[in-house]
């Protein structure tokens, strides 16, 4: 089974465009949950460019499913996470100028920092997922620092310009998922997934969680959040059915 965690950052981005209070990402989260999402993801960035502290606080209060706080390993945000107690934190690299998260974490070169972060989160029973490239060295390091899960970066696969590149990137995700699973890690995937490219990712047996934001909110503009989330869940469930039949 693959569960869908819906990222609501883009709703907050739209709100911030006018600096007012609509649309409210918290309302979007409730609608996504009502439509069947298994979890809600929000990224509290250091610069608060979309999700802000108020959103996170209320999300924690109203969330009925799983709250995944995406964050950088930054001391201020770590303290907020330890105070808020989300179910899961997904640790990402963060650059101020980037449009969105641009690549996976370098766990190898931030080994001690990641180990300490995992220990601090675990003390509060918060699970830790590290967002990494589909790369065995980084996955091994994720296991060694004590992460519970890796989220494999699907951005290069999603942005591949031709079928050969696409197959090449997909093959890396397939083999890395098996590798991470064999290491004893839970395996999630995310970034750039949409109503076309998600199907192949769902065929990977070891993946059991997806984190998707932009494509769902883009579709929601036309059809509403309820339909957009349900369409993605149907797509995931259909693909998963095929993956189970293929065994």
- Classified as helix, coil or strand, 137 is helix
18's enclosing H/E stretch is helix 9-18
DSSP state of 222: H
Cα distances (angstroms) measured from residue 53 to each of 20, 56, 85, 112 = 15, 5, 13, 27
Of 138 and 211, CB closest to ligand PXP? 211
Shortest Cβ 190–ligand PXP spacing (Å): 3
Annotation says 191 is catalytic: yes
Stretch 81-120: interaction string toward ligand PXP, x if CB under 6 A: ---------x-x-------xx-------------------
Whole-number Å distance between alpha carbons of 234 and 67: 22
Of 36 and 93, CB closest to ligand PXP? 93
Q: Is 66 in the site for ligand PXP (CB under 6 A)?
A: no
Of 23 and 190, CB closest to ligand PXP? 190
Residue among 33, 55, 70, 169 that touches ligand PXP (CB under 6 A) = 70
Residue among 25, 39, 134, 213 that touches ligand PXP (CB under 6 A) = 213
Q: Is 151 in the site for ligand PXP (CB under 6 A)?
A: yes
29-33 contacts at long range (C-beta below 8 A, 24 or more positions apart): 29/59, 29/62, 29/63, 30/62, 31/225, 31/226, 31/229, 32/6, 32/8, 32/216, 32/225, 32/229, 33/63, 33/64, 33/65
Annotation says 46 is catalytic: no
Q: Which residues of the chain form contacts with ligand PXP (CB under 6 A)?
A: 7, 9, 43, 70, 90, 92, 100-101, 131, 151, 190-193, 211-215
Catalytic machinery residues: 43, 70, 191
């Amino acid at each position: 089974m693959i569960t869908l965690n819906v990222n609501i950052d883009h709703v907050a981005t739209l709100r911030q465009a006018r600096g007012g209070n609509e649309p409210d990402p918290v309302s979007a989260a409730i609608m996504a949950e009502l439509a069947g999402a298994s979890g809600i993801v929000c990224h509290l960035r250091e610069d608060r460019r979309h999700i802000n502290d108020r959103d996170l606080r209320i999300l924690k209060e109203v969330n009925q499913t799983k709250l995944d706080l995406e964050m950088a390993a930054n001391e201020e945000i770590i303290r907020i996470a330890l105070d808020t107690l989300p179910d899961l934190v997904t640790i990402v690299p963060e650059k101020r100028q980037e449009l969105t998260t641009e690549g996976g974490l370098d766990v190898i070169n931030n080994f001690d920092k990641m180990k300490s972060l995992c220990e601090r989160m675990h003390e509060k029973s918060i699970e830790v997922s590290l967002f990494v490239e589909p790369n065995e060295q980084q996955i091994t390091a994720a296991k060694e620092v004590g992460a519970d899960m890796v989220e494999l970066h699907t951005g290069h696969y999603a942005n591949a310009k031709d079928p050969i590149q696409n197959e090449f990137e997909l093959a890396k995700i397939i083999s890395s998922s098996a590798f991470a699973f064999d290491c004893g890690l839970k395996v999630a995937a995310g970034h750039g997934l949409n109503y076309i490219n998600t199907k192949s990712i769902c065929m990977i047996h070891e993946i059991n969680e997806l984190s998707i934001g932009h494509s769902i909110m883009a579709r929601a503009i036309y059809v509403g959040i309820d339909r957009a989330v349900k369409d993605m869940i149907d797509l995931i469930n259909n693909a998963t059915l095929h993956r189970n039949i293929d065994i």
